[in-house]
Amino acid sequence: SPSCPDGSKRRVCYYYDAGIANVDYGAHHVMVPRRVAMTHGLVASYGLLRDMELLRTRPATQDEIAYILTDDYLRLLRDLTPDTYRADSARRHKIGALSLSGDERNDNPVIDGLWDYCARYAGGSLAAARALGTGTSDIAINWSGGMHHACSGEASGFCYVNDIALALTELLATFPRVLYVDIDVHHGDGVEKYFASDGKVMTVSFHQFGRAGKGDDTFFFPGTGNAKDVGEGEGKYRTLNVPMKAGMDDTGYKELFVPIMREVMEVFRPDAVVLQCGADSLSGDRLGEFNLSIRGHAECVAYLRSFNVPLLLLGGGGYTINHVASCWCYETAVALGKEKEIPDDIPHHGYEHYYKDQGYKLHYAVPKAGTKNTKDHMDNIRKEALKNVEKLHE
Ligand code: VJV
Ligand code: CA
Ligand code: ZN
């Protein structure tokens, strides 16, 4: 097992599949897989590929994916094309969660190459989990994974196959207890559902609850993730939810993340950690309403890395794509312990025109904006979360 003190080097492996970057959710869809190619372009141009093992892997097989999907939904995903979907109205009515690309503002369009796309990002997370299981790497990265809303029987929130559930299951073959942490601005409902009654996996999600300028209970997708939801059966108190209000900034986030995760690490004592690094919790995201800087976001990665437990880093949301690529590139450097060594000026690499709005720098300025998270509210959610973790002790 890895045995290097904090701050020192880790053996990092990294998955990238250029085929994923060409996937198109539809002309105006907010999910843009090209952001993963942009991330890769940055990672390469900063010279970080030299320090990592490249995971060359095959797409996940049908048998591997079958483990986490119902038969009906698997067949649907595998066989559906935009044309058959258009022609088969009977089927169309049965599968409300999927919809045709080009229909207006559809979350989960039936797109060309859908099954291949899912098999590729799932294959990446699976290979990354195996690299940790065999002990060949201390940290494994798949920025194209992290699709936390997908369920066994349906797509949800741009996610069709839950690669995280697949990776967690694979990790359980080696590690007795695995911790899942989710810093995407949305609640990790799919992963929570898969493992709600499982005592070997603990899921923790930090997320926005309610929208800015509106009432506290105004719908922010997916609307679940109440602090009162703590799991059930063997998994009781192994589900933890930290709902926050719009405007959350670096200071406030850290004041919750660090004490809560310190306690979770101490009480649950995981043998491996999976961190979903959804970048829609960054300031200026097109969907999320948090106000984190890239450094604030990456501190979560650095903090969990400091425990020296095998760590799987996955992508997730992120809808202002220049911010996303900057963030995941910086977090790749954090994984390597090289974040202080990469210059702020973005090297020439072919994608630099995307970074004009941030002055061609890796880090962009975060506005001083108000937060709806008052000190009182912060104290309450921290207290409630810590109280839930304490219950694990008993
Ligand atoms: O809020 C929702 C669901 C609706 C029904 C569908 N319409 C499109 C929107 C309202 C209730 N869906 C969310 C899903 C967010 C998924 C986040 C995924 C992740 O980051 O957690 C992990 C990858 C939502 N919010 C915004 C949109 N959908 C949205 C979808 C579009 C769009 C604009 C906004 C789809 C297509 C187009 N524009 C053209
Ligand atoms: Ca989350
Ligand atoms: Zn999200």
Q: Which atom of ligand 1 is nearest to the CA of 159?
A: 23
Is the distance from the beta carbon of residue 27 to the nearest atom of ligand 1 less than 6 Å? no
DSSP E strand boundaries for 192-301: 201-208, 239-244, 272-276
pLDDT truncated to tens, each residue of the chain (394 aa)? 344 566 679 999 999 999 998 999 998 999 999 999 999 999 999 999 999 999 988 999 999 999 999 998 999 899 888 888 777 766 665 555 666 555 567 899 988 899 999 999 999 999 999 999 999 999 999 999 999 999 999 999 999 999 999 999 999 999 999 999 999 999 999 999 999 999 999 999 999 999 987 666 689 999 999 999 999 999 999 999 999 999 999 999 999 999 999 999 999 999 999 999 999 999 999 999 999 999 999 999 999 999 999 999 999 999 999 999 999 999 999 999 999 999 999 999 999 999 999 999 999 999 998 999 999 999 999 999 999 999 998 7
Contact 207, 258 (CB under 8 A): no
Assigned token pair, 350: 């072919």
Phi/psi of residue 179, nearest 5 degrees: -105, 135
Entry pTM: 0.96
For a ligand 1 pocket test, name from 23, 29, 221 the mutation site with the most ligand atoms within 8 angstroms of its C-beta: 221
Q: Is 157 in the pocket of ligand 1 (CB under 6 A)?
A: yes
Residue 374 makes CB contacts below 8 A (sequence gap 6+) with: none
Question: Which candidate in 148, 149, 297, 323 is catalytic?
Answer: 149
Domain parsing of the chain, residue ranges: 12-55+115-393
Distances in whole angstroms, Cα of residue 82 to Cα of each of 20, 85, 89, 110, 156:
18, 5, 12, 6, 18
What's the CATH number for 12-55+115-393? 3.40.800.20
Q: Any idea how long the chain is?
A: 394
**In sequence order, which ranges of 15-110 are alpha helices (DSSP H)?**
18-21, 34-45, 62-66, 71-79, 82-87, 89-94
